């Protein structure tokens, strides 16, 4: 038995009101996601059920019930309100995967403010452009990350408060800094949750764009409807012990700095009242298998790079652990190669089911469903309620011949669809063509309606499931004292699928030495992030350019991937 039952039947009878009904949406006293993920679960009699099992890098374990979740988010909410925050103000979460990150997420939502989660490994520049774009007024962070905030403080006048959740009193707080220690604060039992409406803004996730400027993807509280139902039907989580089934222990490996970590690492599972685990520790096959064994994880949502790394770690290590609790595996973020699916079926007795979606879509769009025959290497079929197809790259008309490559396209209107790009209406509108939302990926459909991913339709690099804008890296490179010009492309990588590679011409006086390569790499790592750091820098005397002087990035890309670009004279004419 699966939650979805028959895919075909669900297609026939589908309406989003299924989720609304299950969530009691029309009569709910608030549409607030913060309330749905904590208070409502307590009201349903699950106050003492474990919501979060957290393990830190030193092995410390903490457990929190849904009532703890409710109290902690109330307490943070009240604290933020006392700072003078209003609904729709932006609050950035800049923390590792510590419990306060999860509680703050709900706390910010509870006061009607907009939560802006950012990956804590971001460097100064990455942090600054995103805070500036959103005019974020509060950032919640940890001691270990506060120095980055201090470095950008002067150019961040909109930032009013820097909340430090683990202040130890050893060094004096500086300008705009304020300490908040959850464990030392009296829990707030009664809290007036902001009466958000379905269309009130909730989460602002930043994603890399085809310019140097990342885009703020604005979601609303109504996204819950898609996130709840996709969690239930795709991740197949079981919410209670009806029919004698064991309750699930769920692990989403994604960081909430990225959309998977919020849609399916917070909202989806907790709105269902599911126990979830968080491991705040670096990746190693041993760490991960140990974690699954220790907490008897049943449902595991991860990403292809991690799966390929586990494959590389080998079969032998798997046998050292008891992973028999696992019953369902899914993956997202980048192409999941057929070998990985076949391997996981062989080694864990369960295939990883590929799911496809984006920051902008807010929830799973195309997916393999539990119980559906899977075609390894394929992303599966659209979620019920999602009208998805492949359209021609020029006319944007649906392609009727199976096997023909085109652009993935969705009919707008599902609940979790982004409502806009923050202050960037023009780019938002450019995503719609001929009545379709175009995510910017190429794919083909087979004769049974399965989607097969082909590639992105732009220059964005997807490294280890994270999107990196080559333009953002190029403009950062220009600030390195050694760099005259650069072109950034992807290059193939066995584990990460693709990694960042930079072609660089040096300023006079600098030599193409390994030392300079390392210095430039580190410069980018600190300024942007470890993900954006080029894994290789190739020093060249000149970069190939069009007649009008534009760098022919496509040519360099083709070389890296061993593709034949054919006659380059047309490229030379490109504007």
Site residues (vs ligand PRX, CB under 6 A):
207, 258-260, 332-336, 354-359, 379, 439, 441, 453, 456, 462, 467
| Distance separating alpha carbons of residues 500 and 416, to the nearest angstrom | 31
CB of 225 to ligand PRX, least distance (A): 18
291-295 long-range Cβ contacts below 8 angstroms, 24+ apart:
291/55, 291/251, 292/251, 292/321, 292/323, 292/325, 292/326, 293/321, 293/322, 293/323, 293/325, 295/53, 295/249, 295/251
**Are the beta carbons of 521 and 537 closer than 8 angstroms?**
yes
Q: Cα-flanking dihedrals φ and ψ of residue 390, to 5°?
A: -120, 130
CB of 440 to ligand PRX, least distance (A): 6
Residues contacting residue 172 through CB under 8 Å, at least 6 positions apart: none
CA–CA dist 100, 315 (Å, integer): 36
**Least distance in angstroms from the C-beta of 8 to ligand PRX:** 22
HSE-CB at 418 with a 13 A cutoff on CA atoms is 28
| Sign of the torsion formed by the C-alpha atoms of 106, 112, 117 and 123 | negative
Whole-number Cα distances in Å, 33 to 88, 250, 496: 14, 19, 33
- Considering beta carbons, is residue 151 or 456 the nearer one to ligand PRX? 456
Residue with Cβ nearer ligand PRX (379 or 506): 379
Cβ-based nearer residue to ligand PRX, 333 or 544:
333
Integer Cα distance of 507 and 521 in angstroms: 16
CA 455 to chain centre: 19
Looking at the Cβ atoms of 467 and 487, the one nearer to ligand PRX is: 467
Provide, rounded to whole angstroms, the least separation between the CB of residue 534 and ligand PRX.
20
Q: Which of residues 365 and 552 has its CB atom nearest to ligand PRX in the complex?
A: 365
User: Shortest distance, CB of residue 353 to ligand PRX, whole angstroms?
Assistant: 10
Nearer to ligand PRX by Cβ, of 200 and 463: the residue is: 463
Output 35 or 356, the one with its CB closest to ligand PRX: 356
**Distances from the Cα of 26 to the Cαs of 20, 45, 203, in angstroms?**
7, 21, 22
Q: Output the DSSP codes for 133-200.
A: HHT--EEEE-HHHHHHHHHHSTT-TT--EEEETT--SSS---TTEEE--GGGS---S--------TTS
Question: In the structure encoding, which two tokens stand for residue 131, read together?
Answer: 């805070």
Please report, in angstroms and rounded to a whole number, the separation of the first and last CA atoms in the chain.
56
CB closer to ligand PRX out of 162 and 278: 278
C-beta of 363: minimal distance to ligand PRX in Å? 9
User: Can you say whether residue 116 is alpha, beta or left, with left for phi > 0 and alpha for psi between -120 and 50 degrees?
Assistant: beta
CB 406, min distance to ligand PRX, A: 15
Q: How far is the CB of 529 from ligand PRX (least distance, A)?
A: 13
- Closest approach of ligand PRX to the CB of residue 175, in Å: 34
Between 193 and 332, whose beta carbon lies closer to ligand PRX?
332
CA dihedral 201, 203, 206, 211 (to 10 degrees): -20
Q: Residue 145, class by beta-carbon neighbours within 10 Å (0-12 exposed, 13-18 middle, 19+ buried)? A: buried
Of the pair 116, 260, the CB lying nearest ligand PRX is at: 260
User: What three-state secondary structure class fits 486?
Assistant: strand
**Min. distance of Cβ 422 from ligand PRX in angstroms?**
15
**3-state secondary structure at position 472:** helix
Cβ closest to ligand PRX, residue 380 vs residue 544: 380
- Smallest gap from Cβ 218 to ligand PRX, in A, equals 14
Closest residue by beta carbon to ligand PRX: 359
């Amino acid at each position: 038995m699966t939650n979805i039952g028959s895919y075909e039947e669900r297609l026939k009878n589908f309406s989003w009101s299924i989720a609304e009904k299950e969530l009691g949406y029309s009569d709910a006293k608030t549409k607030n996601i913060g309330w749905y993920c904590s208070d409502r679960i307590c009201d349903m009699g699950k106050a003492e059920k474990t919501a979060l099992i957290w393990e830190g890098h030193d092995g410390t374990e903490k457990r929190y019930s849904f009532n703890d979740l409710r109290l902690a988010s109330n307490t943070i909410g009240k604290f933020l309100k006392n700072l003078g925050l209003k609904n729709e103000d932006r609050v950035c979460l800049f923390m590792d995967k510590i419990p306060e990150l999860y509680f703050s997420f709900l706390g910010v939502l509870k006061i009607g403010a907009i939560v802006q989660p950012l990956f804590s490994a971001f460097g100064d520049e990455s942090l600054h452009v995103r805070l500036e774009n959103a005019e974020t007024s509060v950032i919640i962070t940890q001691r270990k990350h506060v120095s980055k905030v201090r470095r950008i403080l002067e150019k961040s006048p909109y930032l009013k408060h820097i909340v430090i959740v683990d202040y130890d009193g050893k060094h004096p707080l500086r300008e705009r800094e304020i300490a908040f220690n959850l464990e030392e604060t009296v829990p707030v039992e009664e809290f007036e949750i902001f009466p958000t409406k379905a269309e009130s803004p909730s989460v602002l996730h930043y994603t890399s764009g085809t310019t140097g400027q990342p885009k703020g993807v604005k979601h609303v509280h109504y996204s819950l409807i898609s996130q709840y139902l996709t969690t239930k039907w795709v991740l197949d989580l079981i919410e209670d012990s009806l029919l004698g089934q064991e309750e699930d222990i769920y692990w989403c490996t994604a960081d909430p700095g990225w959309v998977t970590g919020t849609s399916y690492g917070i909202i989806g599972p907790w709105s269902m009242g599911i126990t979830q685990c968080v491991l705040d520790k670096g990746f190693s096959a041993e760490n991960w298998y140990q974690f699954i064994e220790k907490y008897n994880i049943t449902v595991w949502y991860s990403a292809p790079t991690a799966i390929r790394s586990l494959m590389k770690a080998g079969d032998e290590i798997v046998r050292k652990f008891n992973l028999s609790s696992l019953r369902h595996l899914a993956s997202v973020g980048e192409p999941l190669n057929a070998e990985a699916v076949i391997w996981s079926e062989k080694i864990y007795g369960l295939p990883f089911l590929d799911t496809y979606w984006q920051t902008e879509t807010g929830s799973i769009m195309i997916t393999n469903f539990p119980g559906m025959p899977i075609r390894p290497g394929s992303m599966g079929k659209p979620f019920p309620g999602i009208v998805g197809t492949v359209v021609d790259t020029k006319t944007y008309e649906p392609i009727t011949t199976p096997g023909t490559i085109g652009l993935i396209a969705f009919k707008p209107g599902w609940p979790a669809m982004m409502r806009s790009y923050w202050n960037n209406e023009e780019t938002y509108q450019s995503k719609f063509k001929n009545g379709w939302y175009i995510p910017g990926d190429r794919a083909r459909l087979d004769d049974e309606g399965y989607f097969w991913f082909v590639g992105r339709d732009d220059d964005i690099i997807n490294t280890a499931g994270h999107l990196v804008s080559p333009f953002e890296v190029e403009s950062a490179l220009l600030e390195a004292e050694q760099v005259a010009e650069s072109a950034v492309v992807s290059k193939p990588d066995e584990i990460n699928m693709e990694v960042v590679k930079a072609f660089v011409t040096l300023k006079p006086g600098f030599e193409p030495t390994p030392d300079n390569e390392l210095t430039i790499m580190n410069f980018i790592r600190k300024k942007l992030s470890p993900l954006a750091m080029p894994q290789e820098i190739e020093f060249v005397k000149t970069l190939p350019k069009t007649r009008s002087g534009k760098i022919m990035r496509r040519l360099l890309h083709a070389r890296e991937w061993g593709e034949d670009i054919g006659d380059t004279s047309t490229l030379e004419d490109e504007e």
